[in-house]
Amino acid sequence: MTTQPVDFRSDNTASVAPSIMEAIVAANRGTAPSYGNDETTRAVDRRLSDLFETEVRVFPVATGTAANAIALSAMTRPWGGIYCHETAHIQTSECGAFEAQSGGAKLQLLPGAQYRITADRLAKAIADAGVGQPHKPQPAGVSVTQATDLGTVYRLDELAAIGEVARANRLKMHMDGARFANALDTLGCTPAEMTWKIGVDVLSFGATKNGCMSCDAIVAFDPGIAHELVFRLRRAGHVWSKMRFASAQLLAYVEDGLYLQLAARANGLARRLSEGLAALPGVKLHVPVEANEVFVEMPDAVITRLEAERFLFARRGPKLIRLVCRHDGTEAEVDQMLAATRRLLPLAANVTALP
Amino acid sequence: MTTQPVDFRSDNTASVAPSIMEAIVAANRGTAPSYGNDETTRAVDRRLSDLFETEVRVFPVATGTAANAIALSAMTRPWGGIYCHETAHIQTSECGAFEAQSGGAKLQLLPGAQYRITADRLAKAIADAGVGQPHKPQPAGVSVTQATDLGTVYRLDELAAIGEVARANRLKMHMDGARFANALDTLGCTPAEMTWKIGVDVLSFGATKNGCMSCDAIVAFDPGIAHELVFRLRRAGHVWSKMRFASAQLLAYVEDGLYLQLAARANGLARRLSEGLAALPGVKLHVPVEANEVFVEMPDAVITRLEAERFLFARRGPKLIRLVCRHDGTEAEVDQMLAATRRLLPLAANVTALP
Amino acid sequence: MTTQPVDFRSDNTASVAPSIMEAIVAANRGTAPSYGNDETTRAVDRRLSDLFETEVRVFPVATGTAANAIALSAMTRPWGGIYCHETAHIQTSECGAFEAQSGGAKLQLLPGAQYRITADRLAKAIADAGVGQPHKPQPAGVSVTQATDLGTVYRLDELAAIGEVARANRLKMHMDGARFANALDTLGCTPAEMTWKIGVDVLSFGATKNGCMSCDAIVAFDPGIAHELVFRLRRAGHVWSKMRFASAQLLAYVEDGLYLQLAARANGLARRLSEGLAALPGVKLHVPVEANEVFVEMPDAVITRLEAERFLFARRGPKLIRLVCRHDGTEAEVDQMLAATRRLLPLAANVTALP
Amino acid sequence: MTTQPVDFRSDNTASVAPSIMEAIVAANRGTAPSYGNDETTRAVDRRLSDLFETEVRVFPVATGTAANAIALSAMTRPWGGIYCHETAHIQTSECGAFEAQSGGAKLQLLPGAQYRITADRLAKAIADAGVGQPHKPQPAGVSVTQATDLGTVYRLDELAAIGEVARANRLKMHMDGARFANALDTLGCTPAEMTWKIGVDVLSFGATKNGCMSCDAIVAFDPGIAHELVFRLRRAGHVWSKMRFASAQLLAYVEDGLYLQLAARANGLARRLSEGLAALPGVKLHVPVEANEVFVEMPDAVITRLEAERFLFARRGPKLIRLVCRHDGTEAEVDQMLAATRRLLPLAANVTALP
């Protein structure tokens, strides 16, 4: 039985990566112009333009919800519709932030296997949307979550097909990259290949879940969106006066590929965990594990026992739990979880067998 | 002539106070529940409830603009009006953040000597506002800036009179305390005396300008406002997943009265600077210096020469400049500025005398 | 073959009932206070309070969309959710008017047989909604459409069950009564029985489709909602300066039960039409006809031929059409339609049989 | 002493002009496509394009507030500023409708003699606005009220100068023409000369005050604005299903110059009234009478006596009243008012003389 809790609750419970913390401390020297007019912030634009192999504008923001809601609102007028998967974080878990920031635009929900939308569904939805009809929200954009909230990852050709439909219908394309680095690690492609090369106009570049302290970023490939963001962010209170401390985090985050190393570690732990669990009788992966999240079904009695033994995770259904692996997780924790599950499964079977 | 720039641009250019940075580093231990459910964040509520001598709810946010716009929007329905001074930051410098967050409520501007509104003006404005008339925004709140954007400070009796008018007319009262600690130092009163005891329902508790890194806070005295803020902040993307790092800053900020010490230092430098300047012929204080900002008029030629010598400050008119003293400023810098001004004044007089 | 078009497009294409037009003309006498302070408008409040057997506030508005969007926005804060059927007009056909007027609140869609939601589904949705969780829109209201957009009608016990769930969870209840009179005719109950007695807090009282010229009305049973509407309507430009001409329409509309007579006529025509069509081989009612709309499936070739013969109606699918009967429709038109369909069905069968 | 009230309260209290009422009745024939797809509505576009000597799009709306708020919101993004006179109706009397419909954009108030803004003030305000600065709402448009709410009228060269400043700074220009016809009568120019020829992009074309029943119109000269209006109006519930009855009003309103005849009559009455009053000792015109409104100062005792004798008008200050002349007013009423004032003035003088 464990005595210290083993934590698979979320990547949001993680610590700050050491070199990122060092960069914050190092940025604390002398004075610097405020509101992003400092040298560190300018360096972020240059550094991420290098990383993405094209000129980008980077806007550090406090949260992923801010990144999503404000990036999306810069893609649409208030009477527009943004297509997304019916399980997208922007629909399920942000309290209507997009609707608030966009002045009441609409999310248009699409179904899709393994929590991914498809180009075909998108094309059909646009065809049926009533373009030009005053009674209907006008198709304005599409948002893909990469990796998805269920831990699956779009293939590049799937993204490219969606991007093509978007472009053909003059929709803008957004990527919710709360777990951008995790997806990148899985696909083994470049940031450019997973974004503007397949049609992404604006990216929520996740950083907090993967080792930063208090910032994510909007990366704008489209200059028109970038222009709007300047004012939209100011009105949402998302322009830090001491921006240098956010920018320092972002610089350290991508320095020498740190962001990829951190994601690879989390992904590797998830792989180890999911493979171990899948091998157990009575345990079933809910969805393929392609990033750092493991959704797994097991007997309720086992779940309850694991909780009692201070394993921390989220329930997502009567027999469904979510386990998230972090950049600062350990193989020992994974193995503890595996051992406990293995140990508890037979007991649970007995419990179930009782009259 | 200076070689290093001497920086009086803003308190936003300041560094993070050492003990606050240490607290951030110390908070980086293990995992913690996200979105403010952590122990550090709970401690902030308790600690500030002690500080304010009443039960408060504290909401750390990324910026002072977020604090102002979202706190104010929780005081009014979209058809409401918020009274404030015509030079208030919320009117002049936040790109309509309040209007955006409130769904189009209105700021109702009041004049007032030395950048302070008065209870009498407020009462008269409410009386003339058309309460109950559908054609008119309905009086909903009042916002005072303490210290004001021009560096003046409301006396407690002035605030109390405003609070009384607000209460008598069922308006909520907000204090923009971007420089709360500076005002507190000036008045020598307690936080309670300057807030809820004179009627403040919700406070933008400034921290970034005075030594924090990346957060300010909304302090809600009114439970109804606190309830709204939970959802309003989420929709504006102002609920950090790793909240503990913001909360750690706030705890350190008030620990052993640090916030007051930092403010006292900035105020002291401003006093030294303003007294020195006021003693020079041809130099005139634009407004009494009651906090850490010095607005001063001097010949344009002197201003230009000071800029050329790399003194950094903001122009606010043909002969008007703003000098802001920081928690991490030095007497040496102040004295450099005084010496340079003293030296340049006669030269400028000559320049002006030329045909 | 017809020569004059026979029009089943919509009840929005109808004329104004003669006595309503007479009332408009009669109202054009002398001067009258503006913005609803006139005697005619006051009489509407009294007259509809009698009709509904309780004190109501009536707000004449230009359109049903205005009535729906603004009534609903008075039931919720911007972070609220309103439950409705996934085919509700507010979701499918009002271009996001609710989202616009509410500042970005969300419609929460429920499935339901025959286009009606059920109390059970509603209760479950509320239970799963995450009440109190900042990440989730908070359940605020429910909207039922009576008659539905597909021409079905809720039974009183179904409405009462929904109302009970609403009340138990402190949700407000809205009825989109664009075809209120048609439903009333079908149920044979009183206006009170179909509204506040089963829990309705605010009603979009349809009038334009059923014989008025240019106005519908919001009928508020809840004084809090009524208070908000005063300001919300003004800000949406829905307070006529010459209100008396709208009020005159509403008075004439309910005078001596005219609204029920008009609805009974439209319903009767729909019954005649649907029974005649249902008796034809190869024709199938898509959904029971319970008001004045007939959704019917027939071979595409017949539909095309009917269109060519200038029968006017709306296509709603490859083999699905909508036929709407109006207060000013005639049995002759219905019979023309029946005769033509009967005549064309065999021809179409032959066409289909061709290689 | 009068027995019937003599009504100078507002032009909103007026009746509908007989030929307009006849047109409404005549439009009530057969069925017609809904939501503005009918022939009458198409004819309005053509007829007003003729009238304005350029291609326009016309959008009938229920009220002048709807016309103003929605037209203006189509000129700006939410972070924009619209310049207008500090006494403009959009600022003082529409309950923040513009702020609501625009998503929180700002009205930027300008002073100006006789309630008119000037090109110089506008140019200076734009120069000082902080174009490109994220902290400041971005100049987006200017709104002029013609005639002003105080009954003064801009000269064409004044308007042209404002239009030039707008164009030079890429601002859109709106005219609030609630009393458009009255101004046109005063200037004796063409509708084209007073609108697009001097730079107006979109016009609130007042009709209700001047003889229509329940509609005003937005006339869009700019196709981009017209495109937005299609959706903005739908979302605000301002697209009538039975549009033909609004369109019939507008057609009749401009038929054979009726709108000008009605305005000429109201203006003539105002001239007669103001000249008569100005000739009386102790009575003073507050502002030149250039349309159909008379603002006049007289002893308070006279005002009170006039009220007691059932003369109806609006008080606007301790000694200031507003008298509005209507298209259906009479010379007899004007003469009654003059006679009564003449009779009461000496009595009032005595009253005042009493201790």
* pLDDT tens-digit readout, B171-229: 999 999 999 999 999 999 999 999 999 999 999 999 999 999 999 999 999 999 999 99
Total of domains in chain D:
2
Q: So what's the pLDDT on residue B4?
A: 75
> C-alpha angle with apex A193: A190 to A199, nearest 5 degrees?
150
Range of the domain at D320: 6-13+259-344
DSSP assignment of C217-273 equals EEEE-SHHHHHHHHHHHHHTT---TTTHHHHHHHHHHHGGGHHHHHHHHHHHHHHHH
Q: Enumerate the residues of chain C whose CB falls inside 8 A of the CB of residue A102.
A: 104
User: Which among A77, A103, A234 has CB closest to D134?
Assistant: A234
Going through chain A in order, the beta strands assigned E by DSSP cover 6-7, 57-61, 80-85, 106-110, 138-145, 172-177, 202-205, 216-220, 284-285, 293-297, 311-312, 314-315, 320-324
Q: So what's the pLDDT on residue B347?
A: 80
Q: Is C297 domain-assigned?
A: yes
Distance CA B16, CA B327 (A): 9
Q: Is D244 domain-assigned?
A: yes
Residue A351 has pLDDT above 90, yes or no: no
Q: How confident is the model at residue C90 (pLDDT cuts 50, 70, 90)?
A: very high
Q: Enumerate the residues of chain C whose CB falls inside 8 A of the CB of residue D237.
A: 61-70, 97, 101, 236, 238
Which whole number is the average pLDDT over C235-252? 98
Q: So what's the pLDDT on residue D347?
A: 80
Q: How far is A331 from chain D (nearest CA, A)?
A: 47
Q: How confident is the model at residue B353 (pLDDT cuts 50, 70, 90)?
A: very low
Going through D178-303 in order, the beta strands assigned E by DSSP cover 202-205, 216-220, 284-285, 293-297
Q: So what's the pLDDT on residue D350?
A: 66
Instruction: Note whether A275 and A169 are same-domain residues.
Output: no
Given the structure tokens 């499964």, which residue do they identify? A345
Q: So what's the pLDDT on residue C4?
A: 76
pLDDT, one tens digit for every residue, chain D (355 residues)? 445 789 999 999 999 999 999 999 999 999 999 999 999 999 999 999 999 999 999 999 999 999 999 999 999 999 999 999 999 999 999 999 999 999 999 999 999 999 999 999 999 999 999 999 999 999 999 999 999 999 999 999 999 999 999 999 999 999 999 999 999 999 999 999 999 999 999 999 999 999 999 999 999 999 999 999 999 999 999 999 999 999 999 999 999 999 999 999 999 999 999 999 999 999 999 999 999 999 999 999 999 999 999 999 999 998 999 999 999 999 999 999 999 999 999 987 665 544 4
- Please state, in angstroms and as integers, the Cα–Cα distance from residue C296 to each residue in C8, C11, C151, following that order: 13, 17, 11
List pLDDT tens digits, range B258-272: 999 999 999 999 999
Q: How confident is the model at residue C105 (pLDDT cuts 50, 70, 90)?
A: very high
Q: Is A87 domain-assigned?
A: yes
C135/A contact by beta carbon, under 8 A:
yes
DSSP assignment of C153-178 equals ---HHHHHHHHHHHHHTT-EEEEEET
Q: Is the peptide bond before B147 cis (omega within 30 degrees of 0)?
A: yes
Instruction: Note whether A220 and A302 are same-domain residues.
Output: no
Sign of CA dihedral B162, B167, B169, B173: positive
Residue B2 has pLDDT above 80, yes or no: no
- Please state, in angstroms and as integers, the Cα–Cα distance from residue B144 to each residue in C65, C255, C304, following that order: 40, 55, 69
Distance CA A124, CA A121 (A): 5
Q: Is the peptide bond before B166 cis (omega within 30 degrees of 0)?
A: no
- Which of B29, B61, B95 should one mutate to test binding to chain A, selecting the residue with the greatest count of A CBs within 10 A? B95
Amino acid (1-letter code) at residue C272: R
D308/A contact by beta carbon, under 8 A:
no
Residue A342 has pLDDT above 90, yes or no: yes
Residue A339 has pLDDT above 90, yes or no: yes
Instruction: Note whether A95 and A187 are same-domain residues.
Output: yes
List pLDDT tens digits, range A225-254: 999 999 999 999 999 999 999 999 999 999
Q: Enumerate the residues of chain A whose CB falls inside 8 A of the CB of residue D138.
A: 231
Q: What percent of chain A has pLDDT over 90?
A: 95
The answer to whether the beta carbons of residues C218 and C203 sit under 8 Å apart is yes
Q: Is B1 domain-assigned?
A: no
Q: So what's the pLDDT on residue B41?
A: 97
Which of C256, C291, C320 is where one domain is finished? C256
Q: Enumerate the residues of chain D whose CB falls inside 8 A of the CB of residue C313.
A: none
Q: So what's the pLDDT on residue B249?
A: 98
Distance CA D7, CA B214 (A): 62
Q: Is the peptide bond before A147 cis (omega within 30 degrees of 0)?
A: yes
State how beta strands B106-110 and B80-85 pair. parallel
Residue A31 has pLDDT above 60, yes or no: yes
Instruction: Note whether B237 and B281 are same-domain residues.
Output: no
CATH number at residue C87: 3.40.640.10
Cβ contacts below 8 Å, chain C against chain D, sum to: 169
Instruction: Note whether B244 and B278 are same-domain residues.
Output: no
Instruction: Note whether C321 and C217 are same-domain residues.
Output: no
Q: How far is D79 from chain B (nearest CA, A)?
A: 7
Could you say which residues from 179 to 218 on chain B have a Cβ atom under 8 Å away from some Cβ of chain A? Answer: 208-209, 213-215
The answer to whether the beta carbons of residues A196 and A234 sit under 8 Å apart is no
List pLDDT tens digits, range C29-74: 999 999 999 999 999 999 999 999 999 999 999 999 999 999 999 9
Query: Is D16 close to C96, i.e. CB distance below 8 A?
Result: no
Q: How confident is the model at residue A4 (pLDDT cuts 50, 70, 90)?
A: confident
List pLDDT tens digits, range B273-283: 999 999 999 99
Residue B354 has pLDDT above 80, yes or no: no
Q: Is C1 domain-assigned?
A: no
Instruction: Note whether D27 and D144 are same-domain residues.
Output: yes
Q: Is D329 domain-assigned?
A: yes
CATH number at residue C344: 3.90.1150.10
Which whole number is the average pLDDT over A1-13? 83
End-to-end CA distance of chain D: 27
Query: Is D104 close to B103, i.e. CB distance below 8 A?
Result: yes
Distance CA A215, CA A211 (A): 10
User: Which among C214, C238, C242 has CB closest to D246?
Assistant: C214
List pLDDT tens digits, range B133-157: 999 999 999 999 999 999 999 999 9
B169/A contact by beta carbon, under 8 A:
no
Distance CA C252, CA C258 (A): 8
Q: How confident is the model at residue A347 (pLDDT cuts 50, 70, 90)?
A: confident
List pLDDT tens digits, range D225-257: 999 999 999 999 999 999 999 999 999 999 999
ipTM at complex level = 0.95
Q: In what order do the strands lie in the sheet with C138-145?
A: C57-61, C216-220, C202-205, C172-177, C138-145, C80-85, C106-110
The answer to whether the beta carbons of residues B222 and B76 sit under 8 Å apart is no
The 3-state DSSP class for residue B191 equals: coil
Instruction: Note whether C294 and C168 are same-domain residues.
Output: no
Which whole number is the average pLDDT over B308-315? 96
Instruction: Note whether C247 and C268 are same-domain residues.
Output: no
DSSP assignment of B197-231 equals GGT-SEEEE--TTTT-SS-EEEEE-SHHHHHHHHH
Which of A256, A291, A320 is where one domain is finished? A256
Amino acid (1-letter code) at residue D114: Q
List pLDDT tens digits, range D86-106: 999 999 999 999 999 999 999
Instruction: Note whether C195 and C300 are same-domain residues.
Output: no
Q: Enumerate the residues of chain A whose CB falls inside 8 A of the CB of residue B15.
A: 28-31
List pLDDT tens digits, range A133-180: 999 999 999 999 999 999 999 999 999 999 999 999 999 999 999 999
Instruction: Note whether A174 and A205 are same-domain residues.
Output: yes
Q: So what's the pLDDT on residue D351?
A: 58
Instruction: Note whether B126 and B271 are same-domain residues.
Output: no
- Please state, in angstroms and as integers, the Cα–Cα distance from residue B87 to each residue in B114, B148, C19, following that order: 10, 9, 58
Q: So what's the pLDDT on residue B229?
A: 98
Q: Is B118 domain-assigned?
A: yes
List pLDDT tens digits, range D127-174: 999 999 999 999 999 999 999 999 999 999 999 999 999 999 999 999
Which of B256, B272, B302 is where one domain is finished? B256
Residue A355 has pLDDT above 50, yes or no: no
Q: Is D351 domain-assigned?
A: no
Residue A353 has pLDDT above 50, yes or no: no
